[in-house]
Chains A and B, each alone.
Chain A
Amino acid sequence: QTVVTQEPSLTVSPGGTVTLTCASSTGAVTSDYYPNWFQQKPGQAPRTLIYSTTNKHSWTPARFSGSLLGGKALLTLSGVQPEDEADYYCLLFYNNAWVFGGGTKLTVL
């Protein structure tokens, strides 16, 4: 069974930069996995931030960016704001199905 791994938790100071990673048990994550990133705040439905590795939606704040590095998909937040405190999930595509990572709880402190 395919497992997608994310850091369980990360802490960042306001104004700082943090990078969340998304790894696959099958090997290196490439653009063929169409990495997606989602933000979820307590009591809310998730919101899509990044699709197909690097692409942003019209509602995605400019401080969020997606990339690939070292065989992983990355979500980088530059100039973190207090409202960025949330759970973040990545989603990867495998052979006609999709698998979520376990999520990263980001604390802004």
Chain B
Amino acid sequence: QITLKESGPTLVKPTQTLTLTCTFSGFSLSTSGVGVGWIRQPPGQALEWLALIYWDDDKRYSPSLKRRLTITKDTSKNQVVLTMTNMDPVDTATYYCTHGNDFVDSHVTHWGPGTLVTVSS
């Protein structure tokens, strides 16, 4: 059974850097084709795709947020970390971690429950 869980601060101040951790089980990020990504959703708004890292350390980023995002993986800990710099109140959102497998063209299959991050001074 695949599970993912997001963790990190619930409140950050404007201009600070957000660091979120996705801890997963039921799969290995060293398995060919596997990818773990991040998606966010501001309150009452649509989903927004942020970033994805693959088993081979290939990384993809949203063009509009690329300069602020960094995604890394620690295969031994079954974790993926997303950092977002220069946080702003408009970045207030629920952040979701996802799992997929590129080899079967299912790029977003499983979701974590999400974690709400509020940006406020």
Residues on A lying within 8 angstroms of B by beta carbon are: 1, 34, 36, 38, 40, 45-48, 51-52, 55, 57, 89, 91, 93, 96-103
Task: Say yes or no: B47 contacts A97, CB within 8 Å.
Answer: no
User: A51 with B62: in contact, given A100-B47, A101-B46 (CB under 8 Å)?
Assistant: no
Residue of A nearest to B111 (CB): A45
* Residues of chain B in range 89-119 having any CB-CB distance to chain A below 8 Å: 96, 104-114
Number of residue pairs A-B, CB distance < 8 angstroms: 63
Residue of A nearest to B65 (CB): A97
Interface size class of B (residues with CB under 8 A): 20 to 34
Most buried by A among B61, B96, B107, B112: B107
B27 adjacent to chain A (CB < 8 Å): no
Residues on B lying within 8 angstroms of A by beta carbon are: 39, 46-49, 52, 60-64, 96, 104-114
Alpha-carbon gap, A100 to B105, bound state (A): 17
B64 contacts which of A1, A48, A51, A96 (Cβ < 8 Å)? A1
The smallest beta-carbon distance between A1 and chain B, in angstroms, is 7
User: A99 to chain B: which residues have CB within 8 Å?
Assistant: 49
The smallest beta-carbon distance between A9 and chain B, in angstroms, is 13
Task: Say yes or no: A51 contacts B106, CB within 8 Å.
Answer: yes
Q: List 24 A-B contacts (CB under 8 A).
A: A1-B64, A34-B105, A36-B108, A40-B47, A45-B111, A45-B112, A45-B113, A48-B106, A51-B105, A51-B106, A51-B108, A51-B109, A52-B106, A57-B106, A89-B47, A91-B47, A91-B108, A98-B60, A98-B108, A99-B49, A101-B46, A102-B46, A103-B46, A103-B47
